[in-house]
Amino acid sequence: MNPNFKGKHFITEDNWTKDELDIVFETSFDLKKKFYNEEPHLYLPHKTLFMIFFEQSTRTRNSMEAGMTQLGGHAHDLTPDKMQITHGEVAKDTAIILSRMGHGIACRNCFYGIGNKYLNEMAEYSKKPVMSLQDDVYHPFQGLADLMTIFEHFGRNTKGLKVTVSWAYADTHSKPLSVPQTQILLFPRYGIDVTVAHPKEFPLSKGIIEKAKKNTEAGGGRLKFTNNMDEAFEGAQIVVPKNWGGFGYYDVNHYLNNEDECKKEMRSNLEKYKSWICDDRIIKLADKGVKLMHALPADRNNEVTDEILDNPDISIVFDEAENRLHTGKAIMALTM
């Protein structure tokens, strides 16, 4: 493994150069080949990863835990109720202690206005790499898996590829902004043309949009926003219909000081847009060879219909989910 990465934090791809990310993808493809050939790749023998989950997880926890096992190490599955976090222990103290006992810390904390700050505080005090398993701003491991999947289906030259990231209706919970924000930051760095569609009450964070515009200029892609889902789907080669909460509609401090009121308003706004669904009608507006991506779990028949999600000619969501394993292993192997 490249020693230049050892100890490097992974909280957002924005802190990694494109050359560094290219090495991550090469490592991911190599590890995937070894996995399929059942070729041992014990790059982290006897090493320990501490995983802290403030929220539930399927793909993230299992990809990281299985990945550490396949690399020869061990992952601790931790939740706040198993730690002194519930008694008020701060991120700084947790990071100092765990980084003295193991070789890496990974954390998911998606509380709006809190999660990313928590991870960065851990990174400041940890002696070992800190990895974001998703926060309120970024979901970097999902971004890697998304782009790896795009490479597999469309090749490594993604200049001009048309990707639509669209808000879609879901009523399960107010989902973080982190997945679409990671996508608009990362995809244009590889020359991809990204169109984002959302109702006016469900924008992404202004600061992230400004960063994404700079990444677009540097990478040669395009970034467009619209409040019309049909317009966004026209001619798209990849569509990503996914719900996210209306957090970006509010100033962070206003939200934290008026959380109950903001949540009530978000629920009211949500009910206006039940028609924002990826179904047979709208998919016909896209490119003939369109592919559907989604970070999962999908809110079936709200965000996307079963007819589309289960169509093997369109849906590549399970390739995308599997690649969480290979990209996760690449980051761990390189940084730990």
Mean pLDDT calculated for residue range 207-235: 97
- Return the pLDDT at 125: 98
Helix (H, G, I), strand (E, B) or coil at 220: coil
Spatial CB neighbours of 40, under 8 Å, sequence gap ≥ 6:
34
| pLDDT above 80 for 173 | no
Cα(96)–Cα(123) distance, rounded to whole angstroms?
A: 9
For residues 126 and 97, the answer to whether their CB atoms sit within 8 Å is: no
For residues 26 and 327, the answer to whether their CB atoms sit within 8 Å is: no
Tokens for 142? Answer: 């999902």
Mean pLDDT calculated for residue range 28-47: 98
- What are 246-305's pLDDT values in tens digits? 999 999 999 999 999 999 999 999 999 999 999 999 999 999 999 999 999 999 999 999
Tokens for 20? Answer: 């560094």
Which residue's structure tokens are 């550490």? 68
Cα(103)–Cα(78) distance, rounded to whole angstroms?
A: 15
What's the burial of 17, exposed, middle or buried (CB within 10 Å: 0-12/13-18/19+)?
exposed
C-alpha distances (whole Å) from 202 to each of 192, 259, 272 are: 23, 16, 11
CA 70 to chain centre: 22
Spatial CB neighbours of 199, under 8 Å, sequence gap ≥ 6:
167, 227, 269, 272, 273, 276
- Return the pLDDT at 37: 98
C-alpha distances (whole Å) from 119 to each of 159, 191, 248, 303 are: 33, 29, 20, 30
pTM for the full predicted model: 0.96
- Return the pLDDT at 1: 65
- Domains defined for the chain, CATH in brackets: 3-139+323-335 (3.40.50.1370), 140-321 (3.40.50.1370)
pLDDT bin (cut points 50, 70, 90) of residue 86 is confident
Task: Tell me the pairing of strands 104-109 and 74-78.
Answer: unpaired
pLDDT bin (cut points 50, 70, 90) of residue 233 is very high
Termini Cα distance of the chain: 9
For residues 3 and 336, the answer to whether their CB atoms sit within 8 Å is: no
Strands (E), 4-97: 48-53, 74-78
